[in-house]
Amino acid sequence: MASVDSTGSNVFGRLRSGDLLHTGLVLALLLGVWSVGGLEVSTGKVSTLEAMNGSTVLLPCTYSSCIGIKNLYFNWQYNDNGTMYKLCEGMIATEGVEPRVQVEHERVEFVGTSKGNNISILLYNITFEDEGEYVCFARNPKEKNRNHSAIYYLKVVDQMKEIDNTLTTIIVSVVGGVIGLVILVMVIKALVVHFLLKDDEKNKECLVSSSGNDNTENGLTGAKADNKGTPKA
């Protein structure tokens, strides 16, 4: 009996271990899917913009979620040395529905659309005081209020830097000159070959005609000799 109980307890222990392992794998899979399908916010590949004082700039931002959205909340904030100032905020009820937006800055305009998952804004007549970090934030209640944010940095300048294209111009000129020289050499070579072939044809024609003339002259001489009468005895 003791041996049976021992075997039974060992089997039960292995079953419990297997259940725990199975549960762990399921949780890991769920966490993996959750991390892949979670809400993400992006300000594009280039997150820094240099713009002239007094101009209008676009601050881009898009959101994405593999499991969809419901009552997605978003806002734009300006980071002024650690103090956050809200520029606008809004909510998108569900996919395909245009957002309800409240703008809280006189020089800000919301230009996003739910069709492109776009929550971008325009900032008019920028000044040097507008330079700094702009934070695009979003929260999706459908993902247990999962949130994400992205930072866009604006640099304001008096005038745009002129790009020195001297080196590029030199490289293009050299490459163009080399290509032109190669084409000129090929044209000259083709002309030389063409004229040489013509000269060879002329020489062959001359040889043929001169050879024909020699044979004709020889034949006429022979004929004249044959036509002479045999002297009478």
Whole-structure pTM value:
0.57
| pLDDT given at position 173 | 78
CB 60 within 8 A of CB 135: no
In the DSSP assignment, the letter for residue 118 is B
CB 53 within 8 A of CB 158: yes
CB 138 within 8 A of CB 114: no
Q: Cα 21 to chain center, whole Å?
A: 44
Which residues make beta-bridge pairs with 64? 40
**100 by DSSP, 3-state: which?**
strand
| Spans of the chain, pLDDT less than 70 | 1-37, 160-166, 168, 202-233
Per residue in 107-128, pLDDT (tens digit) is 999 999 998 999 999 999 999 9
Per residue in 161-199, pLDDT (tens digit) is 655 566 767 887 788 888 988 898 888 988 888 878 877
Structure-token match 């002024």, residue found: 80
- How far apart are alpha carbons 73 and 52 in whole angstroms? 32
> Closest by alpha carbon to 41, among 8, 18, 64, 69?
64
The dihedral of CA 49, 52, 58, 59: what is its sign? Answer: positive
